Amino acid sequence: MSQEYYSEDHEYVRVEGDIATVGITNHAQEQLGDVVYAEVPEVGRKVSIGEAAAVVESVKAASEVFAPVSGEITESNGDLDANPALVNEDAEGNGWFFKIRLSDKAELAKLLSREQYDKFVAENS
């Protein structure tokens, strides 16, 4: 069973074992509007918590997707190249950006639960 965490930068982290799937939250894609371009990181790249790891562009704005945890990219979502709208259609499902092998599971404690994230969004909207 996976565990989910959220960042204040509106990324989600779905953890299964030592691999985390990372994408932007449904709230984030709603704020961006129609996504027209997504750039995912190279497999094998090492990223640190808070580092820009991917890019998402919409008709409204361009935004970076930050690594909510540190580790090595094990997989990138190639489907976003041909169909960046997947981010709008299924942000927290098939619209994920990358998978990362966690280098320090303790970093997960810095992230928010779904309830904490929903409260954060409500207070900052």
Give CA–CA dist 57/89, Å, rounded: 15
Q: Is residue 79 over pLDDT 90?
A: yes
Assess if CATH 2.40.50.100 describes domain 3-103: yes
Strand partners, 101: 19, 72
Domain edges within the chain: 3-103
Residue partners of 62: CB distance under 8 A and separation at least 6: 55, 56
Give CA–CA dist 10/27, Å, rounded: 7
The tokens of 22 are what?
């990372």
Q: Which of 13, 20, 9 is nearest to 50 (CA)?
A: 9
Q: Residue range 88-117: average pLDDT?
A: 97
Whole-model pTM: value is: 0.96
What tens digit of pLDDT does each residue of 49-68 get? 999 999 999 999 999 999 99
Q: Please report the pLDDT score of residue 56 as a whole number.
A: 97
Question: Integer distance in angstroms from the first to the last C-alpha of the chain?
Answer: 31
Q: Please report the pLDDT score of residue 116 as a whole number.
A: 98
Q: Is residue 1 over pLDDT 80?
A: no
- Which H, E and C letters describe 75-87, residue by residue? EECCHHHHCCCHH
